[in-house]
């Protein structure tokens, strides 16, 4: 079983746009090199982010722009833009032996438990903003001696 990295990739893309917003070339190819995915995947994710009004893009220009401040963009906003649902985080195996006490009842129990977990996670995701992620990345980059132009802007 493999977990989807779509949310992680979307947060990566949004953070990349935030940090490198002053650069001339923020093409899907350039961003894809950082995320280590195809440029088609980046464009697909960016399309979802655009439809949710989290970013703005202009055809023919490699210059996506965040539509809200970093503090106004929560992980939940990004998650919701991807149209992810409860089945994405937790999926109940429906192929169990129905004549078994466990196999015949586990779907109902797990569905309820997973729904509660989903609600808790979504609540927490609303509290975590893109600003937090950007600040942590800038801080780590500074600690590692990595050069970031205008990094002081992320702490004001």
Inter-residue long-range contacts of 53-59, CB under 8 Å, 24+ positions, other chains counted: 54/14, 54/78, 54/81, 55/14, 55/17
Residue 135's pLDDT is what? 93
Q: Tell me, what's the pLDDT at 91?
A: 80
What is the average pLDDT score of the chain?
88
Q: Is 40 helix (H, G, I), strand (E, B) or coil?
A: helix
Domain coordinates in residue numbering, the chain: 6-85+129-155
The architecture CATH gives domain 6-85+129-155: Orthogonal Bundle (1.10)
| The pLDDT value given to residue 39 | 95
pTM of model > 0.75:
yes
Q: Evaluate the CA torsion angle 140, 141, 144, 145 in order and state its sign.
A: negative
Q: What CA dihedral angle connects 146, 6, 31 and 37, to 10 degrees? A: 100
Instruction: Kindly report, residue by residue over 88-143, the tens digit of the pLDDT.
Output: 677 888 888 999 999 999 999 999 999 899 899 999 999 999 999 999 999 998 88
């Amino acid at each position: 079983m493999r977990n989807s990295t779509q949310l992680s990739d979307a947060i990566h893309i949004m953070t990349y746009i935030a940090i490198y917003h002053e650069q001339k070339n923020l093409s899907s190819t350039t961003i894809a090199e950082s995320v280590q995915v195809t440029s088609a995947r980046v464009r697909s994710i960016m399309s979802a982010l655009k439809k949710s009004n989290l970013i703005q893009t202009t055809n023919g220009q490699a210059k996506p722009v965040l539509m809200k401040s970093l503090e106004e963009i929560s992980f939940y906003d990004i998650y919701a833009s991807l149209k992810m649902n409860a089945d994405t985080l937790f999926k109940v195996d429906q192929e169990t032996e129905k004549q078994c006490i466990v196999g015949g009842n586990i779907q109902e129990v797990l569905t309820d438990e997973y729904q509660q977990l989903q609600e808790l996670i979504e609540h927490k995701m609303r509290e975590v903003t893109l600003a937090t992620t950007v600040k942590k990345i800038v801080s780590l980059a500074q600690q590692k001696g990595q050069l970031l132009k205008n990094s002081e802007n992320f702490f004001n």
